[in-house]
Amino acid sequence: MAAVYRSLSKSKANGQTQEHNGDDRPRNRQRVLMLTSRGVTHRNRHLLADLYSLLPHSRKDAKLDSKKNLAELNELADLHNCNNILFFEARKAKDLYLWLSKPPNGPTVKFHCQNVHTMEELNFTGNCLKGSRPILSFDASFDKQAHLRVVKELLTHTFGVPQASRKVKPFVDHVTGFTIAGNKIWIRNYQIAETEQAKGKKPGDQENQEPPAAVSAPKEGKGDTTVSLVEIGPRFVLTPIVVLEGSFGGPVIYENREFVSPNQVRADLRRTKAGRYNKRAEGTLERKVKRRDLGLRTGEGRREIDELDERVLFA
């Protein structure tokens, strides 16, 4: 209702829309609601805090008690006036799943989040201004498949900070990279570091200089400027599981059939260990039965005495 009230308040009495500084281009209005479920670990909480600091257009809410009725998140997003949801779902204090949704009509993508490393854990030298806008860098593989194009659009709406956000700063000083390798999405954050060289010196003249990750064209002025990328963190990997047409519901429009649940992997490992134990137990039982039949165990079984046995012949 708050969004409807603001849109109506900007119109004139005769129904004509007011012009804002003579610019009729549509404004990018994106707000992200970030929250977790019960049972998250300290690493997951730190990951949420790192993403919240990198996304000034986000709103953090308390933990969600229920893991079954996820459609309640649509009402929470409406109350907080958010049109994007980033929800971390923890299972058995071991597995972490990430939901990206566009309420109230969808779509929704469910990921399996793994290889999580937070900023404090990595302790990188890179840094960026709080509230700055990132440059989103997507791999060319996102445009090859239909479900990856949907994932790219959701990632753009979630991690792309709008220019007219309330807490945003007028700076672009870091890059968020999305790369596909092994049917997984690898997410990294880098600082854009500019180093100005003295006039008459080249970047290769300095001793013990590390090679920059990216080099731009030199600027005119006092000297050449070298642009490099320094990783900030956090870093994590997402595996797409399913894409739903609606917001936390609706028909399944994509399903990753190659994905194996980590709970199933642990069950298979336990079953393999149990199979090895059962095989050893059966072998032990067979040896006992064989020794009993041969009369080699004291007090078990009856040993058949042959007529040519010494105890019979020389009795």
pLDDT at 218: 52
Phi first, then psi, for residue 33 (nearest 5°) are -100, 120
CATH class of 28-198+233-259: alpha beta
Q: Are 269 and 276 in contact (CB under 8 A)?
A: no
Q: Are 29 and 162 in contact (CB under 8 A)?
A: yes
Whether residue 211 is predicted with pLDDT greater than 60 in this model: the reply is no
- Residue of higher predicted confidence among 16 and 104: 104
Question: Residue 135 has which token pair?
Answer: 């440059």
Strand extents, DSSP E, the chain: 32-36, 58-60, 84-91, 95-101, 108-117, 133-138, 172-181, 184-196, 225-231, 235-244, 252-255
Residues ≥6 apart with Cβ < 8 Å to 183: 239, 240, 256, 258
The mean of the pLDDT values for the chain is 82
- Residue of higher predicted confidence among 143 and 10: 143
Q: In this structure, how many other beta carbons lie within 10 angstroms of the beta carbon of residue 69? A: 10
Look up the pTM and report it.
0.73
Average pLDDT over residues 301-306: 64
Q: In this structure, how many other beta carbons lie within 10 angstroms of the beta carbon of residue 181? A: 10
| Closest by Cα among 122, 229, 117, 125 to 173 | 229
Residue type for position 14: N
Residue type for position 151: V
Residue 234: asked if its preceding bond is cis (omega within 30°), the reply is yes
Give me the residue spans of the domains in the chain: 28-198+233-259, 261-301
Whether residue 48 is predicted with pLDDT greater than 60 in this model: the reply is yes
Q: Are 259 and 239 in contact (CB under 8 A)?
A: yes
